[in-house]
A and B are shown apart, each in its own frame.
Chain A
Amino acid sequence: MYCRDNLESAERMQRCACLQTETRILTLVIRDADRRTYIEGALLNDNADVPIPSVILRTEHLSRSVNGRLIVDDVSFEVNQGDILAVVGPSGAGKSSLLRLLNRLDEPTSGTYFVEGRDYRDFAPRELRRRVGMVMQSAYLFTGSVADNLRFGPRQRGENLSDAIVSDLVAEVGLPDFASRSVDNLSGGEAQRVSLARALANSPAVLLADEPTSALDEEAKRGIERLVVNIVRQHGLTCIIVTHDTAQAGRVATRVLVMDAGKLKRIGPTQEVLSAEHT
């Protein structure tokens, strides 16, 4: 919602076509009020005065089969730095299965993917998972305080988050003064916010979110949506969010990927894909 409004105004105000050399394909570049750049199209000019969004994640023929059944079937796509890519599709389409491959909670059976240009197997699994954070359907907080939860990730690498960073993080997810609270009495929405802050504490480059609002009521859901969009923008993150709710995809995503029966059915800018889906 927030994001799209911004995008539309950006489009009106600062739409520009880049200078292209004859070897490059024309690209539409949209810059919003925060000087973030959105690019649709194919190859980019590297000579323009706009920062060129880089491909942060790219999959190549990514597949996973379980018991002889392909649950993710030959999926190839790219995600640019700064994108919020919504993965939509009917239940059982392989959305969550695809997401789980991207931080290696499951192993691809064929194909591969690249994070920041490196093959996923070139990372130690723990390092990959730090760079590609994940928020799940339920918060799954660890017993203890909110601060304990935020410190969990960095502690795995022997780092101890300072109190200042912890209070910044909780404030950022809209829960100031929650740091010392026990996680036992949090509402669903609050727990999901803590889970988001916990993933952020690891300073990931990419944030995966697997139906993060499906267990929440409408109000908490909208709150999380706004939060995700803000956080992605402020941290210069890239986000892939799985949702069964195309309206939600419309509110948060810059791009949408549609899956069906394990296959990539369509990918592109949000409005384009959603209107194509509705016809």
Chain B
Amino acid sequence: MQNTLSSRLMLGLAQAGIAAAASMVVVLFARRRNIHLESELFIALVRGIAQIVAVGSVLVLLLRGPRWTSGIILAGMMLAAASTSSRRARVPGAFQVSLYAIFAGAGSVIALMTFARVIDSAITALVPVGSMLVANAMNTNSLALNRFKADVQSHVGQIESALALGAGAEQTVTPYVEASFRASLIPAIDSLRSLGIVWIPGLMAGMVLSGAPPLYSAIYQFVVLAMIFAASGLTSLISTTLIRKHAFSAAEQLVLRPELPAH
């Protein structure tokens, strides 16, 4: 057992070396055209292997833990996802909104699907599948918040005209909330639509490589994408609903405005 593990590890490192060498070839070609990527790529390769080995080692330890460990791991992922997403969006209240939306959106779908046994409750299944849902919910959330911000900032005149006529603050941004929600789901819908035609996603590839029946792997890939859509959609629905109130002050003034040029 110990023997196969260490030989597997050696095999892995050898494969990593060959794959890295392939990327070095690209650098050599680039060099001929005077594009210098050497140091950048070298750092990226070293960083990548170090990170994934470190995370892999932690996972190895965690995978031996009790089943509730996956709850903690996923909660940590959701927290990181909310932070990443809000940093990208730069909207007031974005972290809080992203946190609630991802926990309620991705979290509830993961919990429900685990309860319904669509996701195996073993850590080895729950954590990777759950992390896919969280990562996609994060991307959708970022798209939704960015779109909302851009739409509001480019319609300040319309919004303030409506406010000046006595309209309720949150109602004045309803069209932009709807547009953001719709736009944020385009990637998830497109993934579902093009599944198997444009791409065979990683999960199916992984399952087939590790010996699962290919047809089941294919169906399960659909299951995952449908869950991703549910988690992303719910997240975006919640975040776009919550973010609208952060666009305004308590006295119904639009605060999500383009940066004023300094005079």
What is the interface of chain A, defined by CB distance below 8 A to chain B? 66, 69, 92, 103-107, 125-127, 129-130, 133-134, 136, 138, 140, 142, 152-153, 156-157, 195, 198-199, 202
Across the interface, do B165 and A202 meet the contact criterion of CB distance under 8 Å? yes
Q: Which 6 A-B pairs have the closest CB atoms?
A: A140-B161, A153-B165, A134-B164, A130-B166, A140-B157, A125-B252
Q: Is the interface of A mostly helix, strand, loop or mixed?
A: mixed
Inter-chain contact A142/B160, CB cutoff 8 Å: no
Q: Is A202 touching B251 in the complex (CB atoms < 8 A)?
A: no
Least distance between A151 CB and chain B CB atoms (Å): 10
Question: A129 touches which one: B163, B254, B263 (CB < 8 A)?
Answer: B163
B162 touches A142 (CB 8 A): yes
Interface centre among A125, A142, A198 (most CB of B within 10 A): A125
* Residues from chain B with Cβ under 8 Å of A140 in the complex: 157-158, 160-161
A138 to chain B, nearest CB (A): 6
B196 at the binding interface (Cβ < 8 Å): no
* C-alpha spacing A202/B251, complex, angstroms: 20
- A121 to B, closest residue via Cβ: B251
Number of residues from B at the complex interface, CB < 8 A: 18
Q: How far is the CA of A50 from the CA of B251 in the complex (A)?
A: 39
Residues on B with C-beta less than 8 A from A125 are 251-253
Query: Could you tell me which B residues sit within 8 Å of A by CB distance?
Result: 157-158, 160-168, 249, 251-254, 260, 263
- Pairs A–B under 8 Å by Cβ, sample size 13: A69-B263, A104-B251, A105-B164, A125-B253, A126-B168, A129-B165, A134-B164, A136-B160, A136-B161, A140-B160, A142-B161, A156-B167, A156-B168
| Bound-complex Cα distance A125 to B249 (A) | 11
Closest to A120 in B: B251
Note all chain B residues with C-beta closer than 8 A to A129: 163-166
CB contacts (< 8 Å) of B252 on chain A: these are: 125-126
Query: Which chain A positions have C-beta within 8 A of B164?
Result: 103, 105, 129, 133-134, 136, 199
CA–CA, A133 to B163, complex, Å? 10
Whether A153 touches B253, Cβ cut-off 8 Å, given contacts A92-B263, A136-B161, A140-B161, is no
